[in-house]
Amino acid sequence: MYRRAAVIMFAVLANAAALAAQDPPSREHAIEEAEQAKSELLTPAKAGKAEAYVARISDTFLSGQMHWHAFWQNAYSGGGFTVGAGYVHHVTPYNWLDVRGSITPSGYKRMEAQFFAPEVWHRRGTFSLLGGWREATQVGFYGLGPASHKDSQVNYGFTQPYFGGTLEVFPARNPFVVRGDLEVSQWNQGASGGGSVPSIESAYTPATLPGLGASPVYLHSQGMIGFDSRPARGYTRRGGFYGMFKSRRAFLDALLDTWEQRSTDDVLARVETEADDTRARVRLAGVLTFSRDLLAVDLAVRDWARRDKAVARRLRRVDDSRMDYLRAQIGAVVTDPDELEARVLLAFTLAIGRHFASRRSEPEVVERALDVILR
How many CB atoms are closer than 10 A to CB 113?
Answer: 15
Residue 146 lies in a domain: yes
Give residue-wise pLDDT tens across range 92-107: 878 999 999 999 999 9
If one compares 97 and 333, the residue with the highest pLDDT of the two is 97
Residue 369 lies in a domain: yes
Count of domains in the chain? 2
Q: Residue 161 burial by CB count (10 A; 0-12/13-18/19+): exposed, middle or buried?
A: middle
Residue 30 lies in a domain: no
Predicted pLDDT at 5: 47
Predicted pLDDT at 7: 43
Residue 81, pLDDT > 60, answer yes
Residues 367 and 251 in one domain: yes
Residues 272 and 150 in one domain: no
Residues 225 and 305 in one domain: no
Residue 36 lies in a domain: no
Residues 106 and 176 in one domain: yes
Predicted pLDDT at 187: 93
SS3 state at 116: strand
Residues 263 and 214 in one domain: no
Q: What is the DSSP secondary-structure string of 176-210?
A: EEEEEEEEEEE-EEEE--SSSSPBGGGT--TTTST
Give residue-wise pLDDT tens across range 3-55: 544 444 444 444 544 444 445 556 666 666 666 666 566 565 666 777 777 77
Give residue-wise pLDDT tens across range 258-269: 989 988 888 888
> At which of 229, 254, 270 does a domain end?
229
Residue 45 lies in a domain: no
> At which of 176, 195, 229 does a domain end?
229
If one compares 297 and 29, the residue with the highest pLDDT of the two is 297
Q: What is the mean pLDDT of residues 314-319?
A: 91
Residues 77 and 187 in one domain: yes
Q: How far apart, in Å, are the Cα atoms of 18 and each of 13, 15, 195, 274? A: 9, 5, 106, 36
Residue 77, pLDDT > 80, answer yes
If one compares 324 and 161, the residue with the highest pLDDT of the two is 161
Q: Which domain holds residue 307?
A: 241-374
Residues 76 and 198 in one domain: yes
Predicted pLDDT at 78: 86
Give residue-wise pLDDT tens across range 114-166: 999 998 988 889 999 999 999 999 999 998 888 788 888 999 999 999 999 99
Please report, rounded to a whole number, the percentage of residues in the chain having pLDDT higher than 90: 33
Q: Residue 202 burial by CB count (10 A; 0-12/13-18/19+): exposed, middle or buried?
A: exposed
Residue 134 lies in a domain: yes
Helix (H), strand (E) at residue 292: helix 292-305
**Pick from 198-202, 233-237, 315-319, 326-330: least confident:** 233-237
Residues 302 and 360 in one domain: yes
> At which of 229, 250, 281 does a domain end?
229
Residues 95 and 164 in one domain: yes
Residues 308 and 163 in one domain: no
Residues 211 and 342 in one domain: no
Residues 217 and 287 in one domain: no
Give residue-wise pLDDT tens across range 225-246: 999 887 666 655 555 555 677 7
CATH of residue 340's domain is 1.10.357
Residue 172 lies in a domain: yes
Please report, rounded to a whole number, the percentage of residues in the chain having pLDDT higher than 70: 78
Residue 215 lies in a domain: yes
Predicted pLDDT at 196: 86
